[in-house]
A and B are shown apart, each in its own frame.
Chain A
Amino acid sequence: MSEQKPGWRELSRGAIPYMSSEDYETGDWGVERPEIDRGRCTKCMLCHFYCPEGAIRVREDGYTEVDLRYCKGCGVCAAECPVKCIEMVRKT
């Protein structure tokens, strides 16, 4: 975060966080990102259910898609994929 952070008088009281979890884009934490090979994907959706961040959604066409704004690059999806169609790729 590059913006000026609020001081204690300004910050919301009652242990209310500065931003909601939706506004905190945690995607920039990761060093790797998942890449899905849709040619081999069987649309089982396990990656969607296993993702600890809820960053993998299911599209209209049944394929899954990673929301890189929130994906922390943990690799759980790649490890759980039964057909091994997800590869973790180092971010450049």
Chain B
Amino acid sequence: MHDAFLPDFCRKPTLILGCGNTLFGDDGFGCELVDYLERNYPIPETVCLLDVGTGVRKLLFTLCLSPARPERLLVLDALDVDRAPGEILEINPAEIPSIKLDDFSLHQIPTSNLLRELETHCGVEVRVLACQSGPLPGEVRPGLSAAVRAALPSSAAWVAREYFNNGLTPSGGTVERRESSPA
């Protein structure tokens, strides 16, 4: 592979993706968290931090097929997992609710999705930091709810501690780790 042809998201050891649609309320959590990180933390050279919004599928698709990939991938997204709005938790990619799978696939992989493909077959460490969203609006309405917005600082602190490795000792940032469901 001609290294000059590689986009940043393939060449850096750590890739952090903020996903969601900022036009639909709390669905924009991942994008807003990327913005918060960019404004409040120095981003290490080894990290590619991207607000990929609703375009995550194309990027993951390219990543799956690429001979060069990051070693670690963190996905930031809003999910509905029956918690209180604003609650942050780390979930196993295998636990992504089926209603969200289409956000990560291009409908090509019938029994899996691109995140699982990356983890299982491509050797990439995949983690998902999820925020429980409030009810999503039926029509275009940007802006996070108060509960989800309040989760941004602690979520950012967790990301910095886990991925930036820059000596920061932020307050908060405790995240529950859910155990994987049995296959």
Is the pairing of A and B real? no
